[in-house]
Amino acid sequence: MNIKQEQTGIFIDGKEVISVELSNSKGTYVKIFNYGTIINKFVVTNAKGIPQDIVLGFDKFEDYLSEDYLANYPYLGAIIGRYANRVKNGQFELDEIAYQLAKNNGDDCLHGGINGFDKKIWDIVALSESPIPSVTFQYFSLDGEEGFSGDLAVQLRFDLTDNNELILTYQADTDEATPINLTHHSYFNLSVHGGNVKTHFHQMNASHWLEQDGNFVVTGKLIPVADTFHDFRKGKLIGENWNEEQGYDQTYVLDKSYGELTLASKTTEASSGLSLSIFTTEPVAHLYTAKYLDVKHGKGGKHYQPFDAFCVETQHHPNAVNIPDFPSTILRPDDIYHQTTIYKVSINEL
């Protein structure tokens, strides 16, 4: 069987938390919870022939609900919506109507608000083993949720190919104009032993990054990466010339045609021989090296600490709802939201 479902016996808002495991012929398997569509495991065989889990998470689902974890909540492995990253002052205007979103990051709205898509039980609406194992989750977000307009129906399908590609396909429609900017927030570490990701080699096809204010909100200004530590175009060790206290928490504008499925980034690690290539139809990728990570009792009892992972969050430009020059993030009733992001794992020779 290429698909396995497991019940947890844990209910949230009257719905049971269920895990779905997809596996392929290479021995790769991915475990996803219907709570926040959390990618709990992503196990691949490394260059030494050893199975290795490349995402951070917990051994028990209950730990995703613990007070300690939620007090310093890092969105481990979850979908982000309705709106990824930060919206300035939690405010926007749409069709001459002003909207106020939940403020959960200082004066700003972060990752959809207090109870975003990451904390919702998603319905499992489709399972298939042919031609490749896949699962489709669905969530119906009501008008006014976290301050957003319109009823929004969202589907997210995961496909696992025999080429070790985990394909995420998002689709959404609405009955009223609304902002939407979805991404997934997996924390990756390709090292055999985990730990600081500064020795991961990272390449990103981006000539500009987006200026941010003091609370990491995008201002609208594009800054060239040339001759700065933000230049990953030729690839370099993540820690080669970074600010050791800050790491990376910036959005990079990908060098691509709008809507085209292209390579966003490729990250490799020497001890495992693993590479993670991320392809996307989205125009930007947010690189985060987990400065604020502080998660006790992770997998195997590990204490996940700052810079123990990297995230590449593919999305539209953050705060675009307030910056007219950026590609629009407004979905209208006659349109369909669609994006694809692919995590492809391959092996390099040691």
Catalytic residue set: 185, 313
Helix (H, G, I), strand (E, B) or coil at 68: helix
The DSSP result for 225-263, as a single string, is -TTSTT--SS-EETTSS--TTT--EEEEEESS-TT--EE
Please give the Cα distance from 250 to 320 (Å, whole number). 15
Q: Which two tokens stand for residue 315?
A: 């999305």
Contact (Cβ atoms closer than 8 angstroms) between residue 174 and residue 331: yes
Contact (Cβ atoms closer than 8 angstroms) between residue 20 and residue 32: yes
DSSP state of 328: P
Nearest to 266 by CA among 345, 187, 197: 345
CA distances from 193 to 29, 238, 259, 262, 305 (A): 19, 17, 37, 30, 14
CB atoms within 10 A of CB 140: 12
Return the bridge partners of 343, or none: 166, 278
Contact (Cβ atoms closer than 8 angstroms) between residue 138 and residue 111: no
Please give the Cα distance from 77 to 89 (Å, whole number). 26
Please give the Cα distance from 145 to 38 (Å, whole number). 21
CB atoms within 10 A of CB 228: 10
